[in-house]
Amino acid sequence: MKVQIDAVWYDCDSAGKKIKVTSGTNGEYICPTPANKWCSEVNSYSSWPQFLSIDPKKGRIGDSITVKGTNFDDPTGATVQIGPDYGCGNDTVVTKVGSTLTITCKISPLPDTVLTLRGVHDLDVSIIDNQQRSATGIRQFTLSSATTLLSTSTIYLLIIMLILSTLM
């Protein structure tokens, strides 16, 4: 059984196993009885996806990146997420050679992103397959601000303020 804590998957291969959590949250997790012993519907995977690399290791919104992972059964629908707000745009190219999955794309905000990025941020990079299994590299990509993103409502508010200021 695998347990996801703060976007990182840990092996729970025996009941009572203690896992030292090292990502984001500090502490310890004690594994329950493996799910496949008490729930027969749980899928059993012989391997779990693993994050391999991202190239380059730093960039900006709109830059191209290549992310690699392994142990993905089906590359169809695989996606990349960078931090909580970024991922791949529509120009994503996904290839699989052997057990290695390679995704090349341009960094773009995820739908409904409402934020202003300023400065430099070290972000986690996740590859997510069509079964929602993921492989994450912790703080593997440094995103620098090049573009300020505003929500649609903020843009409308700015337009209204501009119109009102011209009327006064």
| Domain match, 39 and 53 both | no
Confidence class of residue 37 from pLDDT cuts 50, 70 and 90?
low
Confidence class of residue 99 from pLDDT cuts 50, 70 and 90?
confident
The residues with which 11 forms a beta bridge, in sequence order, are: 2
| Domain match, 37 and 54 both | no
| Domain match, 36 and 101 both | no
| Domain match, 16 and 66 both | no
| Domain match, 87 and 145 both | yes
| Domain match, 137 and 64 both | yes
- Output the CA torsion 23→24→27→32 (10° steps): -60
Domain tally, the chain: 2
Confidence class of residue 116 from pLDDT cuts 50, 70 and 90?
low
The residue range of the domain holding 8 is 1-44
What are phi and psi for residue 35, nearest 5 degrees? -60, -35
> How many of the other CB atoms lie within 10 Å of CB of 85?
18
Taking a C-beta distance cutoff of 8 angstroms, is the pair 70, 100 a contact?
yes
Average pLDDT for residues 134-158, to the nearest whole number?
76
* Minimum mean pLDDT range among 38-42, 45-49, 89-93, 106-110: 38-42
> Does the structure show a pLDDT above 50 at 147?
no
Tokens standing for 29?
């997790």
Report the share of the chain in percent with pLDDT over 70: 81
| Domain match, 24 and 69 both | no
